[in-house]
Chain A
Amino acid sequence: MAASGKDFDHRRFAVGLARGLAGALLFALPMFLTMEMWELGFYIDRARLFLLLLVNVPLLVLLAHRIGFERTTTLREAIRDASIAYFLGMVCSGLILLAIGVLRSDQSLNEIVGMIAIQSVPASIGALLGRSQLGGPAVGDEADEDEGAEAEAETSYAGELFMMAVGALFLCLNVAPTEEMILLSYKMTPWHAIAVIVASIVLMHGFVYALSFMGGHVVEEGTPGWHALVRFTLPGYLIALAISLYCLWTFHRLDGIAMTQVMMTVVVLSLPGAIGAAAARLIL
């Protein structure tokens, strides 16, 4: 830990940072390579971008508290890890956009900052996830990690819902900017939309409870199966819908659109959103 100075392990800290960068790269690369994301960087309404950047702060702090660069115990440590992740997300966005020739020196500062800012949101989440998902036991910290894995942890109900929101947000951010989402909703009839809603819920429930993935959930013996559907899967789907709505609104996909059409687009985006939410319950 940086605070104590004397026993500060430079190597461990550097590995943590590298893992964060690797995570940002791995999880956000599809977005770095999406044309719509570059364009959004300069035409997105600045108030909406500002809100997205603000919303990302508590999200990162809560996420860091659960899975951050270090095993965080205090709010201060979580804020520190969230700040590092946000910074790594910015650095990674800037470097990649520069490397692929999207950022050029003749662009206005407003454009450059907008492009990096919008990409830094998924990249910062990726940086945090990189630490938890790519990271084995931290160097020189094996005993501690093993101990943690053996212990039974309890996740509060709100914690489960939060994890679902993060998973949904992550997959939604990946595909929400693309034109395919609105195009699909224009091609679909309401019958298709109903089928997609049912499919999303079935997939979500199946992912977590039926497929016996590692990290999957089981219902305590003697409890009917539909209890988990009502208590976890349906709220999770509602969260996926809300996150989809927020992403589409942020990316100007709903401006001037009638209510039924908005719902159809949200339903389309909620399919990946729901799968992201389910996956988050398995992984995180």
Chain B
Amino acid sequence: MTKMSTARHTETGDPHVVEWLTGLFSAACVIAMIAWMGVQAIGQRDEAPDLSVSVVRQEARSGGYQVEFEIGNAARATAAQVLVRGELVDGDAVVEAVETTLDYVPMQSKASGGLIFRHDPAGLAVRIAAVGYADP
């Protein structure tokens, strides 16, 4: 309980046990979080991101043929402004190439996006890869 007067509040010197339990639980949580961060801080941090792209789905939409992809970053370093380039390939010839930029692919996390082709990818090989990034 807190006594409130006009200007200052006085914390009672004889609190209920619930206040102590809440306090101890909070202290435990905060200490656990700091400990987790400490373990991560001591552990190795990668210098560069490790990006890999996989195609999730492709379907015909009104604007063209939409290929949705997911991009994972296995490293413990975040990539910003990730440039993803997709190509439709027939043998050695590139039929069509499109690009998109993802704002961030955070460390050990996933981001997703889509590329829109004018040609039908059916019968062609779809190649999607990250071709560039910036450090945040």
Contacts and interface: CB of A to CB of B under 8 A. Distances in A.
B104 A231 contact: no
Contact of A154 (B3, B20, B26, B112): B3
Interface string B5-26: 1111111110110111011111
B38 A235 contact: no
Interface residues of B, number: 46
A223 B11 CA distance: 9
Interface string B60-104: 000000000000000000101000000000000000000000011
A217 B104 contact: no
Interface residues of A, number: 52
A150 B9 contact: no
A183 interface: yes
A77 interface: no
A258 B3 CA distance: 43
A189 B12 contact: no
A257 B103 CA distance: 14
Interface in B24-42: 24-27, 29-30, 33-34, 36-38, 40-41
B108 interface: yes
Contacts of B2: 154-155, 157, 160, 217
A205 to B, nearest CB: 12
A198 B37 CA distance: 12
Interface string A180-217: 00110011011101100110010000000000001111
- Nearest first, the 10 closest Cβ-Cβ pairs linking A and B are A190-B41, A220-B13, A230-B23, A258-B108, A234-B26, A186-B78, A186-B136, A256-B110, A238-B26, A190-B40
Interface of B: 1-13, 15-16, 18-20, 22-27, 29-30, 33-34, 36-38, 40-41, 45, 78, 80, 103-104, 106-112, 136
9 contacts: A150-B6, A152-B4, A152-B5, A183-B136, A186-B104, A186-B106, A189-B45, A215-B7, A219-B11
